[in-house]
Structure 1
Amino acid sequence: MYVRRLELVDFRSYPRCVVEFEPGCSVLVGPNGVGKTNLVEALGYVSTLDSHRVATDAPLVRAGATSAVIRSEIVHEHRSLSVELAIEPGKANRARLGGSPVRRARDVLGALRMVLFAPEDLALVRGDPAERRNYLDHLLVARQPRYAGVRADYERVLKQRNALLRTAYLARKTGAGTRDLSTLDVWDVHLASHGAELLAARLELCAALGPHIAKAYDAVAAGRGRAGIAYRSRVPIEPADRESLSAALSAALVESRPSEVERGMTLVGPHRDDLLLTLGELPAKGYASHGESWSMALALRLAAYELLRTEGIEPVLALDDVFAELDAGRRERLAELVGSAGQLLITCAVAEDVPAALRGARYEVSEGEVHRA
């Protein structure tokens, strides 16, 4: 799989931009702040419908414009597929696949499989649990796009359940009396069902990722520590089949209901879970040095990339401003790990930061423009 063409209209800093890519390695070079990251961010958005830099769509639209458009042409197994996304903050995004409109934007997920590593990925190690949950869920969808629907169903039920709890909480706080919470039982059934499906998939994914994370960290850090991953939930996760997990979620919801009514929110479920990342016997968060945190974050992305490859998916790999943060040894080891990628996109401010083995096609990026060197 590789991206042959990317066109941006009013996306970030680009009024309009067209870039033609090839398989193999492509290096995007330019000073900081000229828009290199915007290019890989746009492709990441096609892959996940999320930005790795911001939580909302509004910053993706160029100042003064009302919408942005991303058009991409993706080649997979000698077949070309076009994907177009129209981003309109405050409205549902519109999408076209193969030139035809699709009912939901998420129907384009799976057209481009991509793994992107960026400086923001330090949050996978040092940040909030939501960062690690998103890492898992995006990888779930890359493996099997149907999990975008599972995730959406769970979030829809969670939103409805939280709204009911919040209404009751506010009524009690303002002296407006009590609210009928009998429908919570119905939402509990749906939450347990959708939550169990999502939870079972996450657990299976963690098990599959474990060996790849250990191997990637060992390679990047040159054997200086053993990296591990474990899933953490307030719900018993053994056994990990859907029926058992659904029963465990149902029981946990019953047990936590008094606290949930008191606080006005859902306190158990996959939306509250976390990943425990370890180096040796210690958790990486709070104990890892800056260099170790970088290596762990990089290992998480490389593990995702290798897992997809072992399952017959050849994703696009993007490294955004990575080499400047690595010492010479880590640069060379990373180059060895990614040199065989079907398509590798690298952004950098200084071309010499990129190991010689990865200096393929070169693109010069300036304010609003990209030119093949």
Structure 2
Amino acid sequence: MHVTHLSLADFRSYTRAEVPLDPGVTAFVGPNGQGKTNLVEAVGYLATLGSHRVASDAPLVRMGAERAVIRAQVRQGDRQQLVELELNPGRANRARINRSSQVRPRDVLGIVRTVLFAPEDLALVKGDPGERRRFLDELVTARSPRMAGVRSDYERVLKQRNTLLKTAALARRHGGRSMDLSTLDVWDQHLARAGAELLAQRLDLIAALQPLADKAYEQLAPGGGPLALEYKPSAPGEAHGREDLCAQLMAALAEARKQEIERGITLVGPHRDDVVLKLGQLPAKGYASHGESWSYALALRLASYDLLRAEGNEPVLVLDDVFAELDARRRERLAELVAPGEQVLVTAAVDDDVPHVLAGARYTVSGGTVERV
């Protein structure tokens, strides 16, 4: 799978941009702040319905414009599809596939798949649990686009349940009458069902990712491993099947209910879980050096790429200003590993930041213009 044409309207710094793309390597080169990352960010948005740089859509719309449009022509084998997203901050986004307007934004998931390498990846190792949960859930959705609906259901139920708990906590603190919390049982069931589905997918992903990540780390830093990915659920137990996971979550919610009512927040569920990334016998966070942390983050991305490719639809590889962050050895090793990809998009401030093995098309990016060299 590869993108053959990218069109932007009022996206980030671009009033309009038309960028034809070929298979193989394409590098966008230009000084910082000129819009290189905006181009690959748009491709990533089509794949995940989110940005790797910001949490909301508002910064993605050019200042002074009401909406932004990302449009891409995508080829998979002999099949071509045109996918379009209209970003409307404060209102519902819109989507079209092959000019049809009768689709939801999440229906475009799976048409474009990406694996993105970026300086922000260091947060996978050194950052908060939310960074690792996001990594897992985006990869879960790339493997199975229907999981976007499950994630949305879980977030909706979690929000409703938290609202009920917060109201109950405030009433208790201010000496009001005790609330009828019988509806909490219903929300527990909804949360446990959606949570069990998400948790099952995460556990399956961890099992599939583990050997691939260990192999990738050995390729990047020979003799430096082994790696281990250890899932840490907020609902303790050994369950794996969906029904058993649902029962495990229900039991944990029942045990935590008193504390949840006191604090006004849901304390159990996939939104509270973490993944402990181990290097040897120790957690990488707090023990790994800067170089080891970088190698670990890169290994997770390479493992993601290998997993998606093995499952039948090779993703677009995006390397956003990542080579400038690496020493010469890691730079060359990473370049050699990704060079055979069907489509590789690279951003760099100068040509020298792009390893020679990644020869291919070059675009210069400056002042909102994108020109092929």
Q: TM-score surpassing 0.5?
A: yes
Per-residue deviation at 1:312?
Answer: 1.3
**Is the CA contact (8 Å cut-off) linking 1:115 and 1:301 kept in structure 2?**
yes
Matches within 5 A, 1:212-291: 212-291=212-291
**Is the CA contact (8 Å cut-off) linking 1:318 and 1:345 kept in structure 2?**
yes
- Provide the residue aligned with 2:117 in structure 1: 117
Tell me the SS of whatever aligns to 1:102: strand
Tell me the SS of whatever aligns to 1:255: helix
- Find the aligned partners of 2:68 and 2:259 in 1 and give their Cα distance: 43
Aligned residues: 373
2:162 corresponds to 1:162: yes
- Find the aligned partners of 2:89 and 2:173 in 1 and give their Cα distance: 34
Per-residue deviation at 1:120?
Answer: 0.9
Per-residue deviation at 1:239?
Answer: 2.9
**Is the CA contact (8 Å cut-off) linking 2:234 and 2:270 kept in structure 1?**
no
Matches within 5 A, 1:1-373: 1-373=1-373
- Find the aligned partners of 1:239 and 1:165 in 2 and give their Cα distance: 27
Per-residue deviation at 1:222?
Answer: 2.7
- Find the aligned partners of 2:50 and 2:235 in 1 and give their Cα distance: 28
Q: Which runs of 5+ in 2 are unaligned?
A: none
Identical pairs, percent: 64
**Is the CA contact (8 Å cut-off) linking 1:236 and 1:245 kept in structure 2?**
no
Q: Deviations over 1:140-196 (max 9, x none)?
A: 111111111111111111111111111111222233332211100011111111111
**Is the CA contact (8 Å cut-off) linking 1:73 and 1:82 kept in structure 2?**
yes
- Find the aligned partners of 1:121 and 1:237 in 2 and give their Cα distance: 30
Per-residue deviation at 1:238?
Answer: 1.8
Q: Which runs of 5+ in 1 are unaligned?
A: none
**Is the CA contact (8 Å cut-off) linking 1:26 and 1:344 kept in structure 2?**
yes
Tell me the SS of whatever aligns to 1:115: strand
- Find the aligned partners of 1:45 and 1:301 in 2 and give their Cα distance: 17
Q: CA RMSD in A?
A: 1.0
- Find the aligned partners of 2:228 and 2:36 in 1 and give their Cα distance: 33
- Find the aligned partners of 2:84 and 2:227 in 1 and give their Cα distance: 39
1:21 maps to amino acid: L
Per-residue deviation at 1:38?
Answer: 0.5
2:367 maps to amino acid: E
- Find the aligned partners of 2:138 and 2:237 in 1 and give their Cα distance: 21
Classify 1:279/1:269 alpha carbon distance in 2 versus 1 (closer, same or farther; 3 Å).
same
- Find the aligned partners of 1:98 and 1:167 in 2 and give their Cα distance: 46
2:211 maps to amino acid: P
Per-residue deviation at 1:317?
Answer: 0.4
- Find the aligned partners of 2:87 and 2:235 in 1 and give their Cα distance: 37
Per-residue deviation at 1:237?
Answer: 4.3
Tell me the SS of whatever aligns to 1:145: coil
- Find the aligned partners of 1:148 and 1:56 in 2 and give their Cα distance: 17
**Is the CA contact (8 Å cut-off) linking 1:116 and 1:318 kept in structure 2?**
yes
1:270 maps to amino acid: P
- Find the aligned partners of 1:260 and 1:284 in 2 and give their Cα distance: 31
Per-residue deviation at 1:249?
Answer: 0.4
Per-residue deviation at 1:66?
Answer: 1.5
1:135 maps to amino acid: F
Per-residue deviation at 1:20?
Answer: 0.4
Tell me the SS of whatever aligns to 2:62: coil
- Find the aligned partners of 2:271 and 2:350 in 1 and give their Cα distance: 40
Per-residue deviation at 1:330?
Answer: 1.1
- Find the aligned partners of 1:261 and 1:283 in 2 and give their Cα distance: 33
- Find the aligned partners of 1:102 and 1:118 in 2 and give their Cα distance: 34
TM normalised by structure 1 equals 0.98
**Is the CA contact (8 Å cut-off) linking 2:57 and 2:87 kept in structure 1?**
yes
